[in-house]
Amino acid sequence: MFSYCTDPNALSGLTWLSCYLTTGKHMAFYFSFGTVLLLLAITAPVALLFGFFGASAARSHILPLRWFGKTYIALVRGVPDIAFFLFFVIALDQMIEWTRHKILCPEWTEPVRQGNDFVVCQAAKMPLGSAPQWVHETYGFTLAVFTFAIVFGAFAANVMFGAMRAVPRAQMETAEAYGMTRRQAFRRILVPQMWVYALPGLGNLWMVLIKATPLLFLLGVEDIVYWAREMGGSKTSKFTEYPHGDWRMWYFFALLVFYLCFTRISEIFLERVMKRLTKGQATTGGEAQRKAPA
């Protein structure tokens, strides 16, 4: 990176550190923080969408749809979500390959599950065996995002289901009195009002989502945990120009600090939003704001 880094053996102290921290591998490490942020940026809205549809389904008048919604919400309770993460990644992958197998290789007669193996024809492999490395990585990342969205969608569905029920009944009755259909009342009255009630729960969920991002490592994505383990391990001068002992502790300390800063910033931001939203509301929060000395 820097011009004086050409001969690492001649360096010492801070200059050594500045060179060490700017090696190509470290750049990949810093880049993986971007991966985490990207995951958050994609997962949050998708999970919100899943949650919205889950909550709407759970309120539906159509019985199978309601069952689906309720099961979706209840599924994630009672079971550690790490189990869901590990489950969905394989399950989704096999589902995609199986579907492609059925479509692309109809002449294939052998069963897909042979003993301990899951065998599909070459053309159905996802991604194709011949695909370049970045396709494999993107596919893995997409699966991870989808898994996160399914699990956190269930959490969000639960929050929104509660928020929809918290909207005062009188509001819906007024909508009915104006002659609105169920759908109109849902779209015009319920949805705009539910957000105030959903925000504390969703904010909480956002914090939980941040703290769930290191689980990406378990889904086979090269994220910050992966790199911290990789680079912290002791290195001898045989393999690298920057030998050092076991520094994994310090790398994970850095991750700890990163997450602490991230959650703290989110907390402050959410507090601000909440303050703004509760202003003038007929809730205890709004009341406290009114009574507080101006």
Partner 1 sequence: MSCWMTIQDYGLRAVGIGERLLPREDFTLCQQFTLIGSGMIWNIYFGAFALISGFFFANALAMAKSARSPWLRKPAEWFIFIFRGSPLFVQFFFGYFLFLSLKQVFPIFTPFTAAWLGALVVLFLNTSAYSAEIFFGALRSIPKGDVESADAYGFSGWPRFKKIIWPTMLRLAWPAYTNEAIFLFHATALVFFSGFPAWQQKGDALYYANYFADKTFNPFVPYPILAMYFILLTLVVLSIFGLANRFLNRHLPQEARRKIKLKMNVIR
Nearer to partner 1, 8 or 285 (CB): 285
CB-nearer residue toward partner 1: 95 or 135: 95
User: Minimum distance from CB of 246 to partner 1 (Å)?
Assistant: 7
Out of 17, 21, 249, 288, the residue judged to bind partner 1 by CB under 8 A: 249
Binding partner 1 (rule: CB under 8 A), the pick from 82, 131, 135, 273 is 82
If we measure between CA atoms, which residue out of 123, 156, 138 comes closest to residue 53? 156
Q: Does 229 bind partner 1 (CB under 8 A)?
A: yes
Q: Is 24 in the site for partner 1 (CB under 8 A)?
A: no
Cα separation, 70 vs 202, whole angstroms: 19
Map residue 227 onto helix, strand or coil: helix
Burial of 63 (0-12, 13-18, 19+ CB in 10 A): exposed
Longest dimension (CA), the chain: 83
Question: Chain centroid to CA 231: how far?
Answer: 25
Bridge partners of 114, per DSSP, are 117
Kindly state whether residue 113 participates in binding partner 1, applying the rule CB under 8 A: yes
Considering only residues 25, 102, 182, 211, which one is a binding residue for partner 1 as defined by CB under 8 A?
211
Out of 8, 53, 252, 270, the residue judged to bind partner 1 by CB under 8 A:
252
How far apart (Å, rounded) are the C-alpha atoms in residues 85 and 28? 25
Count the residues of the shown chain that bind partner 1, applying the rule CB under 8 A.
48
Q: Does 78 bind partner 1 (CB under 8 A)?
A: yes
Query: Using the rule CB under 8 A, is 1 a contact of partner 1?
Result: no
Alpha-carbon span 247 to 226, nearest angstrom? 14
Shortest separation between residue 193's beta carbon and partner 1, angstroms: 22
| Nearest CA among 60, 93, 55, 61 for reference residue 74 | 55
Q: Which residues pair with 117 in a beta bridge?
A: 114
With CB under 8 A as the contact rule, the residue among 86, 104, 270, 277 that binds partner 1 is: 86
Candidates 141, 232, 242, 278; binder of partner 1 (CB under 8 A) is 232
| 285 lines the binding site for partner 1 (CB under 8 A) | no
Contact between residue 159 and residue 198 where contact means Cβ atoms under 8 Å apart = yes
Buried b vs exposed e over 93-109: b needs ≥16 C-beta within 10 Å? Answer: ebeebbebbeeeeeeee
Q: Any contact of residue 124 with partner 1 (CB under 8 A)?
A: no
Applying CB under 8 A, the residues found at the interface with partner 1 are: 76-83, 86-87, 90-91, 94, 113, 115-118, 155, 158-159, 201, 204-205, 208, 210-215, 217-218, 225, 228-229, 232, 246, 248-249, 252-253, 255-256, 259-260, 263-264
